[in-house]
Structure 1
Amino acid sequence: MPTLPGLSEEQRGELTRRLALYAYQRGDFTLASGRQSRYYVNCKPVSLSGTGLSLISTAMLNYVDAKAVAVAGLTLGADPLVSGVAMAASLANQDLDALIVRKEAKDHGTGTWLEGPLPQPGAVITVLEDVVTTGGSSLKAVKQLREAGYAVTRVVTIVDREEGGAASIEAAGLELISLYRLSEISICAAKLNR
């Protein structure tokens, strides 16, 4: 199994085990994209646990663009990720803020799409995602960030479902970095009789 920068082999194994046990399910599911699938990956039980978020954040931080001043992602899946990565950066004496991209503009107050400390226009931001299937959620976040005047060239996800999302993201001029592919989680789940 490939290593993840920032994580020891033992930590990588623990994160893989947690994803296989708590995020991966078999059955009949309708995905956010509308597609039907025999597998479902919901990373929230892992990313919303203290240990899980710590492991994910440490791993993701190593893939944030070196020029980035913030990480951002579409609510709800990316909410713990952007907060966790910003905290991991602070603990490593790096200055990195977190932004949350709303699914729709706020219907009151300022009507904003973005929440958090907004950087100067032109700043580099890395988008974080929990699971990439078609790439639609990532691309929605990127669109809002670019329309706000930010430079986005990279998306970092926990799991790539290997269903075309990488190609869609790359077609938009973005680099996709995945901590895991669905096939890796599936193999671990089978070993754990999940």
Structure 2
Amino acid sequence: MPTSPGLTEEQRSDLMRRLATSAYKRGNFTLASGRQSEHYVNCKPVSLSGTGLLLISTAMLSHVEDQSVAVAGLTLGADPLVSGVAVAGSLAHRDLDALIVRKAAKGHGTGAWLEGPLPQPGALITVLEDVVTTGGSSLKAVNQLREAGYVVNRVITIVDREEGGAAAMDAAELELISLFRLSEISAFAAELNQ
């Protein structure tokens, strides 16, 4: 079962409620993976709200490896997450930088894939994600970081849709930690709508 040790049970319930009411929708949707689904999760209404980001960042920070010097993620979904976790780390007297992985190399200037204060090659970086379906977005970020010479062992996501992402992470020798599973959020949303 996903855990959020950085949160109290009340805070975890608050975050679940926010996700179920503001991020989750039921209908017919085409996902970023190209798959069709009756469940849609867009965490941005929660991750871009002050309290939502605070709850997410606190929970994610508790799963960032002790030796990590930075958190990183693929733009756009991970942008608030990496910033929020870096700030939460600072408030907890933990020095973590935030890195944003571009979807494509910058078309001008340095042509960079990565934005932020770059650590030394060989440094450990934890990848953050809003939603994992097949794991494609997370793996794109991981691959860019590994190609740049960084070590990535863990991906932390707000929601695991339980559609193969965990297996894809395992195949890439990554540990996937999810704060919530889609089945939890959809069940909670169904209870709220009764």
TM-score range (shorter-chain normalised) is over 0.9
Partner SS state of residue 40, structure 2:
strand
2:152 matches 1:152: yes
Cα 1:90/1:168, change in 2 over 3 Å: same
Match of 2:166 in 1: 166
Cα 1:2/1:37, change in 2 over 3 Å: closer
Partner SS state of residue 7, structure 1:
coil
Match of 1:86 in 2: 86
Residues 95-110 of structure 1: matches in 2 within 5 Å? 95-110=95-110
Residues 14-93 of structure 1: matches in 2 within 5 Å? 14-93=14-93
Identity %, equivalent residues: 80
TM-score when scaled to structure 2? 0.98
- CA deviation after TM superposition for structure 1 residue 36, in Å: 0.3
Match of 2:188 in 1: 188
Q: What letter corresponds to residue 43 of structure 2 in structure 1?
A: C
1:129-178 CA distances to partner (integer Å, 9 max, x unpaired)? 00000000000000000000000000000000000010001100000000
Flag as ranges the 4+ runs of structure 1 deviating above 3 A.
none
Quote the Cα distance in structure 1 between the aligned partners of 2:35 and 2:29: 8
Does the 8 Å contact 1:3/1:9 carry over to 2?
Answer: no
Does the 8 Å contact 2:82/2:98 carry over to 1?
Answer: yes
Quote the Cα distance in structure 1 between the aligned partners of 2:101 and 2:31: 20
Quote the Cα distance in structure 2 between the aligned partners of 1:7 and 1:185: 17
Matched length = 194
Match of 2:115 in 1: 115
Quote the Cα distance in structure 1 between the aligned partners of 2:157 and 2:102: 18
**Structure 2 segments unaligned to the other structure (5+ residues):** none
RMSD: 1.1
Quote the Cα distance in structure 1 between the aligned partners of 2:78 and 2:41: 14
TM-score when scaled to structure 1? 0.98
Partner SS state of residue 28, structure 1:
strand
Quote the Cα distance in structure 2 between the aligned partners of 1:24 and 1:33: 17
Q: What letter corresponds to residue 14 of structure 2 in structure 1?
A: E
Q: What letter corresponds to residue 165 of structure 2 in structure 1?
A: G
Q: What letter corresponds to residue 93 of structure 2 in structure 1?
A: N
